Amino acid sequence: MTRLKASAGFFLAFATAAFAAPAALAEDVNIYSYRQPELIAPLLEAFEAETGINTNVLFLDTGLVERVKAEGANSPVDVILTVDIGRLTEAREADVTQSVESAIINDHIPAQFRDPDGNWFALTKRGRVVYSSKDRIGQIPITYEELADPKWEGAICIRDGQHPYNIALIASMIAHHGTEYTEEWLEGLKANLARRPNGNDRSQAKAIMSGECDLALGNTYYVGLMMTNDKEPEQKEWAAAIDILFPNADDRGTHVNVSGMAMAKHAPHPENALKLMEFLASPEAQEIYAEQVFEYPVMPGAEASEIVQSFGDIHPDDLPLIEIADHRREASELVDKVGFNNGP
């Protein structure tokens, strides 16, 4: 039975209850996750049904790597699930992961989407796209570079420049164009902002609907989540107000980021951890992921959900994720250098 906890605040009780008694949990696998529990529950239920192995999940919204490092050799975690190339490489750099060699995983996940030494593997990808006002802008070709053009002055909304999603995009710009160009580009993008960066990707769509801005940067999967949000139906209106534009579709391609997995360095159940990781890389899990979280599968030939396909074709930038990760620090420094979060 999958055991889920909603936040890190539950850690002490969870660690002593759900992750205790190793002998009793020989057929368990313990997971620390940055992914929301409801997003991964269908995957874990399918894994349990197929293998008979129970899964225990601790959801943390911050501090996952720090917690694993502090726990050291006594850590109960087997598998780390996270989002963003930055967080995956952060886990490796903090020495809380171990190398995994699996022909099954490598057959399903292209080299571009895994660590060369097997310390992490991507599971899904999402495009960092432009949300466009359906009424005022519509479907137009666009590039990331063009977002710094003065013609868009006062037209663009964005979340915090230091958010990992934006840092990854800026790092990809450095990888393609160099630091000097990217600094000038950031200055131009900042000058075109309608307001100071704030909110999340969904609130950028809301700002477009309200007329606060005409364009915004956001991830593709948030559009699917808004379109199907019955608990907060106003989000359906936000999604209906925007078109999705895939930047650089006609040249180098749209920047993509990932969700991913890693085996913890001191995994107490390494065999079960490997079984879970191989399952998550399988065609069955890729299909569940695609339907549940509105992201693109990383496995070649696997299809996105009908909703995601309705966004249009994506031509992903083929820049290896490891190259983007190498420029994260520079990207963060540039955000501060140009005072991006101060707004226009």
Rounded Cα gap, residues 295 and 213, in angstroms = 26
Say what angle helices 328-337 and 179-191 make with each other, to 10 degrees.
40
Residue 7: pLDDT over 70: no
Cα 109 from chain centre: 16
What is the 8-class DSSP label of residue 71? H
What pTM did the predictor assign?
A: 0.86
The pLDDT of residue 18 is 46
Question: Mean pLDDT of all residues in the chain?
Answer: 91
- β 54-59/28-33 pair status: parallel
Average pLDDT over residues 22-26: 46
CATH number of 125-255+312-342: 3.40.190.10
Which DSSP string do the residues of 170-238 spell out, in sequence order? HHHHHHHH-HHHHHHHHHHHHHTBSS---S-HHHHHHHHHHTS-SEEEEEHHHHHHHHT-SSSTHHHHH
Tens-place pLDDT, residues 55-101:
999 999 889 999 999 999 999 999 999 988 889 999 999 999 999 99
CATH topology of domain 3-124+258-301: D-Maltodextrin-Binding Protein; domain 2 (3.40.190)
Q: Where in the chain is the domain with CATH 3.40.190.10?
A: 3-124+258-301, 125-255+312-342
What tens digit of pLDDT does each residue of 283-305 get?
999 988 888 889 999 998 888 99
* Closest among 101, 104, 102, 65 to 81, alpha carbons compared: 65
Give the pLDDT confidence score for residue 145 in this predicted structure.
98
Tens-place pLDDT, residues 221-241: 999 999 999 999 999 999 999
pLDDT digits (tens, 9 = 90+) for 239-286: 999 999 999 999 999 999 999 999 999 999 999 999 999 999 999 999
The β-bridge partners of 47 are: none
DSSP conformation letters of 20-58:
--GGGGTTEEEEEESS-HHHHHHHHHHHHHHH--EEEEE
pLDDT value of position 19 = 53
